[in-house]
C-alpha cells in the first residue's frame, strides 16, 4: 500500500511539473517577453493577465497549490533519491543530479520572486507594471540572481519534461529517449532565451 501511494505521488509530482506548472512557466515568461517590445506592451499584457476573471481562484488551484505540492515532494526526493547507473548512463545520471540542484535553486528563486512581486502588489507596496521589474533588476546582484533563477527554472522544467515522458511511458525505447533529449534541449534553449531576453530589457533597456 505504501509503495502504491508513493508511486502515485511521484506520478502526480511529475504530471504537475508539466501541467499546469510548466504551462504557467511558459505563459509567465511569454508575458514578460512583451517588455522587449516596450513598456506599454508589457503593461498591457500584464494587465490582461491580472484582470482575468476568477484570477484568485486560478492562481490558488492552478498555480500555488500545485507548486506547493511539487516543491514539498521535490525536496523529499532530493534527499532520498539515488543515481541509477544501471538503468541510465553517465549523462542521464548527471542530468538527474543537476535536476535536484536546480530544484532547490528554483524553489528559493520562486519564493523570493513571489515575495517581491505578488505579495508586494497584494500588500499595496508595488504596482503591476514595467517599473516594478525595472526597479528590481536595477541592482546588479538582483539581475544575476534572476539570471541564475530563470536558467535553473527553465532547465528544471525541460529536464523534468524528459523524465515525464519516460515515467509516463511515452518514450520507452532508447531511440525515442534520445529524440526526447534533443527535443527538450531545444525547449530549454528557447524558453531560456525568452526569459533571459526579458531580464536584459528590464535591466538595461536593450
Local confidence band at 84 (pLDDT 50, 70, 90 cut-offs)? low
Q: What angle do CA 104, 152, 168 make, to 5 degrees?
A: 80
| Mean confidence (pLDDT) of the chain | 94
pLDDT above 80: residue 145: yes
pLDDT band at 5 (very low <50, low <70, confident <90, very high): confident
pLDDT band at 134 (very low <50, low <70, confident <90, very high): very high
Residue 58 in this model has a pLDDT that exceeds 80: yes
Please state the pTM of the whole predicted model. 0.94
Mean pLDDT, residues 75-92:
75
Grid coordinates representing 178 are 534520445
Whether residue 69 has pLDDT greater than 60: yes
Both ends of the chain: CA-CA distance in Å? Answer: 56
What b/e sequence results for 157-178 when a residue is b if at least 16 CB atoms lie within 10 Å of its CB, and e otherwise?
Answer: bbbbbbbbbbbeeebeeeeebe
What does DSSP assign to residue 36? G
The answer to whether 157 and 191 have CB atoms below 8 angstroms apart is yes
Domains observed in the chain: 2-204 (1.20.1300.10)
**So what's the pLDDT on residue 116?**
96
pLDDT in tens, 7-29: 899 999 999 999 999 999 999 99
Amino acid at each position: 500500500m505504501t509503495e502504491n501511494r508513493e508511486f502515485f505521488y511521484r506520478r502526480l509530482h511529475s504530471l504537475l511539473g508539466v501541467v499546469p506548472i510548466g504551462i504557467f512557466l511558459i505563459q509567465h515568461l511569454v508575458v514578460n517577453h512583451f517588455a522587449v517590445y516596450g513598456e506599454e506592451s508589457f503593461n498591457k499584457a500584464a494587465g490582461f493577465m491580472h484582470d482575468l476573471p476568477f484570477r484568485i481562484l486560478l492562481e490558488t488551484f492552478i498555480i500555488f497549490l500545485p507548486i506547493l505540492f511539487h516543491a514539498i515532494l521535490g525536496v523529499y526526493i532530493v534527499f532520498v533519491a539515488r543515481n541509477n547507473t544501471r538503468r541510465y548512463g553517465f549523462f542521464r545520471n548527471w542530468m538527474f543530479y543537476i535536476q535536484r540542484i536546480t530544484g532547490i535553486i528554483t524553489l528559493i528563486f520562486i519564493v523570493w520572486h513571489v515575495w517581491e512581486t505578488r505579495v508586494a502588489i497584494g500588500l499595496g507596496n508595488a504596482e503591476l507594471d514595467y517599473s516594478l521589474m525595472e526597479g528590481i533588476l536595477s541592482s546588479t546582484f538582483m539581475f544575476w540572481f534572476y539570471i541564475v533563477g530563470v536558467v535553473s527554472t527553465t532547465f528544471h522544467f525541460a529536464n523534468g519534461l524528459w523524465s515525464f515522458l519516460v515515467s509516463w511511458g511515452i518514450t520507452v525505447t532508447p531511440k525515442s529517449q534520445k529524440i526526447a533529449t534533443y527535443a527538450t534541449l531545444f525547449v530549454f534553449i528557447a524558453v531560456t532565451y525568452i526569459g533571459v531576453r526579458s531580464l536584459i530589457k528590464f535591466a538595461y533597456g536593450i
